[in-house]
């Protein structure tokens, strides 16, 4: 049975969980040679499928300065801003579904760590001899992960590209908004958000499209975990947390 979420507990839980996630993700072994091999393998697989389009998109969008700079900032910021906004909305408007839906996100992120640790992957922007453009570095965008000597480069694992949590988190946001939001315009934005995110991660050369598939698989695992834990799909739980039973209310009134 869902319980009413407590703000102080949720803030601590999210802070500790994200700190742990970042620590483990960035502590994964820096195996650059293996990461390059994996990137080449993924590129060859996509080529065999006739879907190795990342470089073409990267070069095409790079030619439109205002667009690629906007995408760079989109990549660096909305990943966190939108996810936190959806969590706050769930906490305030759907407290009965908050815990289960939050568990989906946590389980998705947790299983992604296995990919980061056991499958180091160079993102397209770091592939050797492939002529991808690192758009954040070229345009000196805040949040560049590969600028030499930058703070971001020193604290971030450059080879944690598979799976893409930009896709995992954005798809979680999009599904949650599409299912639970009432205004049509908000549902449309929810549907567009992961689609635009996919374009951004490819155009900025931060991910292959197969990284996005990995993120989707992790999200599917997250929904299965929440379904198993709560016994129902997270969105089918009651919107509001049931109030205390009459006996409990009577006892509480007597105690006061």
For 2-47, the pLDDT digits (tens) are: 666 676 667 777 777 767 766 666 666 667 889 999 999 999 999 9
Taking the C-alpha atoms of residue 217 and residue 213, their distance in angstroms, rounded to an integer, is 6
Cβ within 8 Å of residue 228, ≥6 positions away? none
pLDDT digits (tens, 9 = 90+) for 89-121: 999 999 999 999 999 999 999 999 999 888 999
Cβ within 8 Å of residue 83, ≥6 positions away? 105, 169, 170, 172, 173
Question: Inter-axis angle of helices 65-93 and 54-62, to 10 degrees?
Answer: 110
Taking the C-alpha atoms of residue 116 and residue 215, their distance in angstroms, rounded to an integer, is 12
Taking the C-alpha atoms of residue 199 and residue 197, their distance in angstroms, rounded to an integer, is 5
Cβ within 8 Å of residue 25, ≥6 positions away? 113, 116, 157, 160
Helix H or strand E encompassing 103:
helix 95-118
Task: Judge contact between 136 and 156, C-beta under 8 A.
Answer: no
Three-state secondary structure call for residue 172: helix
For every residue of 10-34, DSSP letters joined together read: HHHHHHHHHHHHHHHHHHS---HHH
Q: Is it the case that residue 253 has pLDDT exceeding 50?
A: no
Q: Mean pLDDT, to the nearest integer, of 65-85?
A: 94
Cβ within 8 Å of residue 88, ≥6 positions away? none
Taking the C-alpha atoms of residue 172 and residue 167, their distance in angstroms, rounded to an integer, is 8
Taking the C-alpha atoms of residue 83 and residue 241, their distance in angstroms, rounded to an integer, is 22
Q: List the single range of 51-65, 67-81, 129-143 with lowest mean pLDDT.
A: 129-143
Taking the C-alpha atoms of residue 225 and residue 37, their distance in angstroms, rounded to an integer, is 32
What percentage of the chain carries pLDDT values higher than 90? 67
pLDDT digits (tens, 9 = 90+) for 38-59: 999 999 999 999 999 999 999 9
Q: What is the pTM of this model?
A: 0.85
Task: Judge contact between 71 and 61, C-beta under 8 A.
Answer: yes
Q: Which two tokens stand for residue 251?
A: 């006892």
Dihedral sign for Cα 76, 137, 44, 53, please: positive
**pLDDT for 4:** 65
Q: How far is CA 20 from CA 4, 79, 153, 176, in A?
A: 25, 18, 19, 25
**pLDDT for 147:** 47
Taking the C-alpha atoms of residue 43 and residue 96, their distance in angstroms, rounded to an integer, is 43
**pLDDT for 15:** 75
Task: Judge contact between 141 and 69, C-beta under 8 A.
Answer: yes
């Amino acid at each position: 049975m869902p319980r009413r979420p407590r703000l102080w507990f949720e803030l601590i839980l999210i802070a500790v969980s994200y700190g742990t996630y970042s620590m483990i993700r960035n502590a994964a072994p820096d195996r650059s040679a293996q990461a390059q091999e994996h990137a080449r393998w993924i590129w060859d697989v996509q080529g065999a499928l006739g879907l190795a389009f990342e470089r073409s998109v990267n070069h095409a969008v790079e030619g439109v300065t205002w667009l690629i700079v906007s995408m760079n900032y989109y990549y660096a910021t909305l990943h966190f801003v939108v996810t936190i906004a959806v969590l706050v909305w769930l906490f305030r408007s759907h407290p009965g579904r908050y815990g289960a839906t939050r568990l989906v996100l946590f389980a998705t992120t947790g299983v992604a760590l296995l990919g980061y640790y056991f499958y180091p992957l160079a993102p397209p922007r770091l592939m050797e001899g492939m002529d991808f453009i690192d758009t954040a570095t070229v345009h000196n965008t805040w949040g560049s992960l590969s600028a030499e000597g930058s703070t971001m480069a020193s604290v971030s694992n450059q080879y944690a590209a598979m799976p893409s949590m930009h896709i995992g988190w954005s798809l979680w946001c999009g599904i949650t908004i599409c299912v639970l939001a009432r205004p049509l315009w908000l549902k449309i934005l929810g549907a567009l958000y992961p689609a635009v995110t996919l374009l951004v991660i490819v155009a900025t050369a931060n991910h292959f499209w197969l990284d996005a598939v990995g993120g989707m698989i992790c999200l599917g695992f997250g929904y299965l975990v929440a379904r198993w834990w709560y016994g129902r799909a997270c969105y089918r739980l009651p919107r509001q947390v049931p109030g205390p039973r009459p006996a409990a209310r009577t006892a509480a009134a007597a105690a006061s």
